[in-house]
């Protein structure tokens, strides 16, 4: 992905599972409390976004989760990832 052109603006956020696109969202809302809580020097309020999904969409086992996005047709990724593990259902 091309991180060189990322300027802080986001048109779409993408959730990746094991390196493959899983969900995307272009719904954002103002989050002024983020700027206040972290004493950030931004004049404009920060934005928030979120993902909700059913665990049934994941296979059992552990998966690498990462976040990326699209900015004016340039793709970028956010540094860092985390692991999400799903146990087999008891039912």
pLDDT in tens, 3-55: 444 456 778 889 999 999 998 888 877 777 776 777 766 666 667 777 888 87
Rounded CA-CA distance 33/11 in Å is 21
Confidence (pTM):
0.68
Mean residue pLDDT of the chain comes to 79
**Does residue 62 register a pLDDT over 90?**
yes
Cβ burial of 89 (10 Å; 0-12, 13-18, 19+) is exposed
């Amino acid at each position: 992905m091309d991180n060189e052109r990322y300027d802080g603006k986001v048109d779409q956020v993408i959730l990746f599972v094991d390196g493959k696109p899983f969900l995307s969202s272009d719904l954002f809302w103002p989050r002024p409390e983020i700027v206040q809580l972290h004493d950030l020097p931004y004049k404009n309020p920060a934005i928030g976004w979120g993902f909700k999904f059913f665990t049934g969409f994941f296979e059992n086992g552990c998966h690498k989760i990462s976040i990326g996005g699209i900015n004016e047709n340039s793709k970028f990724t956010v540094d860092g990832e985390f692991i999400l593990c799903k146990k087999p259902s008891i039912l």
